[in-house]
Amino acid sequence: MSREKRIEEQIQHFYENVPNVDDALPLKDYLLKHEDSRMAWYLLGKQYERSNDDAKATYCFGQAGEIYTAFEGKPAPELPKPTVKPRRKLRIGLLWFGVITGLLVAVGLVIYTLHHEGQKLANDAPNDSQSRIPASSVNTSISSQVVELTSSPRVIAAVGNTRAQAFAELGNMLQHSESTAPQLMVIGASLGKWNDWLKSGKPIAAVYTEQSAGVSAIRWYDPRWCDCMPQDASEAQQAVREWKPLQEAKAVLQSAFLHYREQTGSWPTEPVDLNDSYPMNTIAGWNDEMTAWFDEMSTTISEQIKAEPDPTTLWPLDSGSVDGLAAPAGMFGEMMEQPLEVIVDKGNHRLAVVSGTIILRNYEVGLGGNRTPKGEFVITEKVREPNGSTTSEYGSRGMTLSNGRYGIHGTNQPNSLGKDESLGCVRMSQEDLEELFDLVSLGTKVTIVEEGLPTELRVPQERFKLSNTKNETNPHKVYNWLN
């Protein structure tokens, strides 16, 4: 039996089991071109469920199989057994024109898998010999302003490398399509037990919404996820590249807010409370976009403090550069909730900057073996040019741990990195140290453990750096860390 006949019989079985069909939902053309169409069956079932057509919905959910189970958290309904009946021809009117990958979960909006039309994207059109999800009537239902990636995303969500996670996140996006700004879904890479910030971000799909038309759309970028001809992902990739450093800066500022509160008992009221000269240098500098974020975070505090004395998340979502407005979601979501911390792995000679289970950096360090203590510490002092030099045994930066003699600093013995040659302190290369100095604020938690970090290094090509620095030197003190 040919594939087309087999799918026609499947559709025929549908009509025999749910009689009195008077709708014209465009499904058959999609099913004929995509035999593994469980997602389409599931979303079609959601549309019938919304219309209180329980018999049709149940049948579609049965065809959806494991997709239904992944979304609903329960087994799919059993399909009725087919009966042997003479085949009857389907009316020409049932050969619906156009293609949709499914219908919006719970809300019932139409979802289109997009294929660009128009002169600008003519070169992206797949040829007819290639397997793809067609979209011949997309441009009659959703405007070019929505189809094109002409605005920055409002959400960037990372998902694990499984279809179930991707579909679950898509469902979440489609249920929260309150804005016409796109929502972008990207691959979340793993590094052992950690979510790998620097390696994550390859675009999978974008969700668009046009409120006036009541339509949402999915634009796929990766054929492994959609069995389709993917769209050009260059704009989406560029959006992620521009977005990431701004999220790092937000994480730095939010962490500084929270640590300032812990240390002083009050919230900062102006930028100089955080970005001041030594020893009040909670944060090591101030990038231009931080001023708008500071104002938004201060407003959040004044609004939330009425309900709860200490809000745990101050993440700015409505201010600053449009390139950074997208909220981190999915595997990235912890950045909005967890302050930056430092973990030092004695066994692997690594120092990582993390937010929850997200690892943002992983540097090589030099340690002191048994002379380096395990435990939890706090950064209580940050100084530039300790002992008045950038080339001394402590390098260009130094950070004191819990007001003791242990510290994180540079070294004039770069060959000692990866070894146990210090008297207990953490040695770093100058470039790594200076980036860490800008990433972590006073009050940052530092945990020294025997093992737990990956061996693979994680440093970006372009280092994180704060500008508008203040005088963070301390010429009145001779530092004597356990180098």
Q: Is the pLDDT of residue 183 over 60?
A: yes
Is 226 among the catalytic positions? no
Please indicate, yes or no, if residue 50 is contained in any of the structural domains: yes
Q: Is the pLDDT of residue 208 over 80?
A: yes
Segment 102-122 shows an average pLDDT of 33
Confidence class of residue 114 from pLDDT cuts 50, 70 and 90?
very low
More confident residue, 156 or 31: 156
Q: Are 216 and 279 members of one domain?
A: no
Listed range (41-45, 63-67, 75-79, 191-195) with the worst mean pLDDT: 41-45
Listed range (50-54, 115-119, 199-203, 254-258) with the worst mean pLDDT: 115-119
Nearest-angstrom CA–CA distance, 289 and 275: 14
Please indicate, yes or no, if residue 359 is contained in any of the structural domains: yes
Q: What string of H, E and C letters represents the secondary structure of 95-160?
A: CCCCCCCEECCCCCCEEEECCCCCHHHHHHCCCCCCCCCCCCCHHHCCCHHHHCCCCCCCEEEEEC
Please indicate, yes or no, if residue 411 is contained in any of the structural domains: yes
Q: Is the pLDDT of residue 476 over 80?
A: yes
Residue 200 one-letter amino acid: S
Q: Is the pLDDT of residue 340 over 80?
A: yes
Q: Is the pLDDT of residue 193 over 70?
A: yes
Can you name the residues that pair with 328 across neighbouring β-strands? 156
Q: Are 216 and 350 members of one domain?
A: no
Listed range (119-133, 336-350, 383-397) with the worst mean pLDDT: 119-133
Please indicate, yes or no, if residue 472 is contained in any of the structural domains: yes
Tell me, what DSSP letter sits at residue 482? -
More confident residue, 368 or 113: 368
Burial environment of residue 141 by CB neighbours within 10 A (0 to 12, 13 to 18, 19 or more): middle
Segment 160-179 shows an average pLDDT of 76
Nearest-angstrom CA–CA distance, 383 and 277: 10
More confident residue, 183 or 166: 183
Q: Is the pLDDT of residue 33 over 70?
A: no
Q: Are 220 and 303 members of one domain?
A: no
Q: What string of H, E and C letters represents the secondary structure of 227-242?
A: CCCCCCCHHHHHHHHH
Listed range (247-261, 296-310, 468-482) with the worst mean pLDDT: 296-310
User: Please, how many CA atoms are within 13 Å of residue 337, restricted to the half-sphere of its CB?
Assistant: 9
Q: Are 294 and 214 members of one domain?
A: no
Which of 29, 16, 20 minimizes the C-alpha distance to 86?
Answer: 16
Q: Which of 34, 259, 349, 409 is catalytic?
A: 409
The pLDDT, as a whole number, for residue 439 is 99
Q: Are 18 and 78 members of one domain?
A: yes
Report how far apart the first and last C-alpha atoms of the chain are (Å, whole number).
Answer: 77
Q: Are 221 and 275 members of one domain?
A: no
Q: Helix or strand or coil: residue 394?
A: coil
Q: Are 280 and 339 members of one domain?
A: yes
Assess contact for 466 and 250: CB atoms under 8 A: no
Please indicate, yes or no, if residue 365 is contained in any of the structural domains: yes
More confident residue, 395 or 43: 395
Q: Is the pLDDT of residue 72 over 90?
A: no
Q: Are 209 and 288 members of one domain?
A: no
Q: Which of 60, 226, 228, 425 is catalytic?
A: 425
Q: Is the pLDDT of residue 79 over 50?
A: yes
Q: Are 466 and 318 members of one domain?
A: yes
Segment 6-32 shows an average pLDDT of 53
Q: Are 215 and 286 members of one domain?
A: no
Please indicate, yes or no, if residue 179 is contained in any of the structural domains: no
Looking at the structure of the chain, the number of domains it has is 2
Which of 330, 132, 139, 159 minimizes the C-alpha distance to 226?
Answer: 132
CATH no. for residue 446?
A: 2.40.440.10
Place of tokens 């949402």: 216
Q: Kindly state the tokens that stand for 383.
A: 């100084």
Q: Is the pLDDT of residue 178 over 60?
A: yes
The pLDDT, as a whole number, for residue 121 is 28
Q: Helix or strand or coil: residue 253?
A: helix
Please indicate, yes or no, if residue 160 is contained in any of the structural domains: no
Segment 432-445 shows an average pLDDT of 99
- Give CA 436 to chain center in angstroms: 22
Per-residue pLDDT tens over the stretch 209-219: 765 556 677 88
* Residues 6+ away with beta carbon under 8 Å from 343: 351, 352, 354, 446, 447, 448, 449, 452, 453
The pLDDT, as a whole number, for residue 106 is 32
pLDDT above 90 covers a percentage of the chain that reads: 54
The pLDDT, as a whole number, for residue 8 is 61
Q: Average pLDDT of the chain? A: 80
Residue 149 falls in which region: left (phi positive, over 0), alpha (psi -120 to 50) or beta: beta
Burial environment of residue 28 by CB neighbours within 10 A (0 to 12, 13 to 18, 19 or more): middle
Residue 165 one-letter amino acid: Q
Q: Are 254 and 223 members of one domain?
A: no
Q: In angstroms, how far apart are the furthest CA atoms of the chain?
A: 97
Q: Kindly state the tokens that stand for 369.
A: 């073996």
Domain that holds residue 360: 242-323+332-483
What sign has the CA pseudo-torsion 296, 301, 240, 145? negative
Q: Is the pLDDT of residue 303 over 80?
A: yes
The pLDDT, as a whole number, for residue 117 is 29
Segment 359-372 shows an average pLDDT of 98
Residue 128 one-letter amino acid: D
Please indicate, yes or no, if residue 17 is contained in any of the structural domains: yes
Nearest-angstrom CA–CA distance, 133 and 121: 16
CA distances from 463 to 256, 362, 363, 477 (A): 19, 13, 13, 30
Q: Are 70 and 126 members of one domain?
A: yes
Segment 422-446 shows an average pLDDT of 98
